[in-house]
Structure 1
Amino acid sequence: MRIRYFAAAAQAAGITEERLDIHELPGAPGMTATASTTLGTVLEHLAARTPATAPVSDGPLLRRTTSLGTVLTRCSFLVNGVSEQDHARALRPGDELDVLPPFAGG
C-alpha cells in the first residue's frame, strides 16, 4: 500500500511517501496478515518503527524530534481519498493512506 505523509507527519516520519507491504505485518491469531490488517494495525506499525530522535545531518549527534507515534494521535486519515476515523477499517495491499496532521493558518 502507498502511504503519504503531509506537514508535521512528513517531518516526524522523515519522508513524504512510502510503500508498505501489508503482507509483512503480523496478523491476528489464525488469520492471514491481509485478512486482519486494519488502519489501527498499520498505524501501530508506523509508530513503533519511527524513533523520537533523528541524526543531525552534519555530525554524530542525535536531536530530539516529535515522534511519528505522537503525531499520529492527532492526525486525520484518508483511505483511497475518503476520510476514515475507524481504526478497525480493513486495508488491502492496493489502498492509499494519506496521513494529515491538523493544519493551521488561513
Structure 2
Amino acid sequence: MGLVTVRYFAGARAAAGVHEEKVELPTDATVQDALTAIATLHGDVLGRVMLSASFLLDGVAVRDRAARLPEGTALDVLPPFAGG
C-alpha cells in the first residue's frame, strides 16, 4: 500500500469538497486506479468533472492513465478553466 496526495482545483475542488487529501492505494497503482478510488469516495459529481479534467503527476502533465503512481507522489485534478 502507498499514499498518494490528490489535489483538487476549481470545479474539482467544489465537487470533492476538499482541496487536498491523502489516498491509500495498492502498490503499483495507476492513475486510473487513483481516479476510480476518488470517484468512489466523492461520488458522481466528481466522476463527471474528471471526464473532462486533465491531470498532473508531480507537476507534469500525464495523459496515460496506466501510468504508475509511486508512493508519495502528487496527483493534481484540473478541470477545464474558463477565461484566460
TM-score (norm. length: structure 2)? 0.90
Deviation at 1:51, TM superposition (A): 2.9
Deviation at 1:49, TM superposition (A): 2.0
2:39 is the alignment partner of 1:93: no
* Cα shift readout 1:20-67 (whole Å, capped 9, x = no counterpart): 122xxxxxxxxxx212x1000110111122134xxxxxxxxxxxxxx1
SS of structure 2 residue aligned to 1:20: strand
Residue in 2 that maps onto 1:59: none
What is the percent sequence identity of the aligned residues? 44
Select the structure with the greater relative contact order (CA < 8 A; seq sep ≥ 6).
Answer: 2
Residue in 2 that maps onto 1:17: 20
Aligned residue type for 1:34: T
After the TM superposition, which residues 1-106 of structure 1 pair with which residues of structure 2 at under 5 Å, given as runs?
1-22=4-25, 33-35=26-28, 37-52=29-44, 67-106=45-84
The 1-side partners of 2:62 and 2:38 are apart by: 17
Gaps of 5+ in 1: 23-32, 53-66
TM-score (norm. length: structure 1)? 0.72
The 2-side partners of 1:47 and 1:88 are apart by: 17
The answer (yes or no) to whether the contact 1:79–1:96 under 8 Å persists in 2 is yes
Aligned residue type for 2:6: I
Gaps of 5+ in 2: none
- Which structure: larger Rg? 1
Residue in 2 that maps onto 1:27: none
RMSD: 1.0
